[in-house]
Chains A and B, each alone.
Chain A
Amino acid sequence: MPKILHVDPSLTRQKTVLAIKSIPIHAYDTPLATERAALGDGRLRRMLRDMMIIREFETMLAGFKGQGAYAGIKHIYAGPAHLSIGQEAVAVGSAAALDAGDHVFGSHRSHGEFIAKGLSAIQKLGGDALSQIMEGQAGGQLLRTLEGRLGTNDIRQRAEQFLLFGLLTEILMRSNGFNGGMGGSMHAFCPALGIYPNNAIVGGSAAIATGAALYKKLHGQGIAVANIGDGSTACGPVMEAMNLAGMGQLTNLWDEAYQGGLPVLFLFHNNFYAMGGQTNGETASWDRLSRLGAGFNADNMHAETVDGTNPLAVMDSVRRKRDLLIARRGPALIDAECYRYVGHSTTDASAYRTKEEIEAWRSVDAIAGFALSLKAEGILDDEAEAEMLAGVKQTIQQITALSVDPEASPPIDIKADPFAVGRLMFSDELATLPGGGALIAPAETCSRVTQLAKRSRVGKSPEGKKLSAMAAITIRDALFEPILHHFQHDPLLIAYGEENREWGGAFGVYRGLSEILPYHRLFNAPISEAATIASAVGYALEGGRVIVELMYTDFIGRAGDEIFNQMAKWQSMSGGVLRMPLVLRCSIGSKYGAQHSQDWTGLVTHIPGLKVVYPATPYDAKGLMASALAGNDPVVFFESQRLYDTTELFQPEGVPTDYYRIPLGTPDIKRAGKDVTILTIGPSLYKAIDAAETLATEHGIAAEIIDARSLVPFDYDLVLTSLAKTGRLLLVSEACERGSFLMTLAANIQRFGFKHLKAPVEVLGTPNWIVPGADLESSYFPQAHDILDIVCNRLIPDLARPATGDRLWDNVALARQGL
Chain B
Amino acid sequence: MDIELVMPVLGVEIEEGQMRAWQKSEGDSVIQGEVIAVISTPKLDMDLESPATGVLKTIIVDEDEIAAVGAVLAIIEADEDDATD
Contact = CB atoms under 8 A, between A and B. Distances in A.
Given A447-B20, A454-B64, A591 B42 contact: no
Contacts of B45: 447, 511
B44 A511 contact: yes
B20 A508 contact: no
A503 interface: yes
Interface string A491-515: 0000000000001100110010000
Given A451-B40, A476-B42, A511-B45, A468 B66 contact: yes
Interface in B57-78: 64, 66
Interface of A: 447, 451, 454, 468-471, 474, 476, 503-504, 507-508, 511, 591, 644-645
B54 interface: no
A644 B43 CA distance: 9
Contacts of A507: 43
Contact of B42 (A454, A470, A503): A470
A645 B15 CA distance: 12
Interface of B: 12, 15-18, 20, 40-45, 64, 66
B40 A470 contact: yes
A591 B43 CA distance: 17
A508 B16 contact: no
A645 B10 CA distance: 14
B15 to A, nearest CB: 7
A503 B16 contact: no
The A contact surface, by secondary structure, is: loop
A503 B66 contact: no
Contacts of A645: 42
B49 to A, nearest CB: 16
Contact of A508 (B12, B18, B44): B44
A468 B16 contact: yes
Nearest to B64: A454
A471 B17 CA distance: 10
Contacts of B43: 476, 504, 507-508, 511, 644
B42 to A, nearest CB: 4
30 contacts: A447-B20, A447-B45, A451-B18, A451-B20, A451-B40, A451-B64, A468-B16, A469-B42, A470-B17, A470-B18, A470-B40, A470-B41, A470-B42, A470-B66, A471-B66, A474-B42, A476-B42, A503-B44, A504-B43, A504-B44, A507-B43, A508-B41, A508-B42, A508-B44, A511-B43, A511-B44, A511-B45, A591-B12, A644-B42, A645-B42
Contacts of B20: 447, 451
Given A470-B40, A508-B44, A645-B42, 16 more contacts: A447-B45, A451-B18, A451-B40, A468-B16, A468-B66, A470-B17, A470-B41, A470-B66, A476-B42, A476-B43, A504-B43, A508-B42, A508-B43, A511-B43, A511-B44, A644-B43
B38 to A, nearest CB: 9
Nearest to B12: A591
Best-buried of B18, B42, B45, B66 by chain A (most CB within 10 Å)? B42
Nearest to A645: B42
A476 B64 CA distance: 19
Contacts of A454: 64
A470 B12 contact: no
B37 to A, nearest CB: 14
A468 B15 contact: yes
Contacts of B17: 470
A447 B44 CA distance: 12
A471 B40 CA distance: 12
Contacts of A468: 15-16, 66
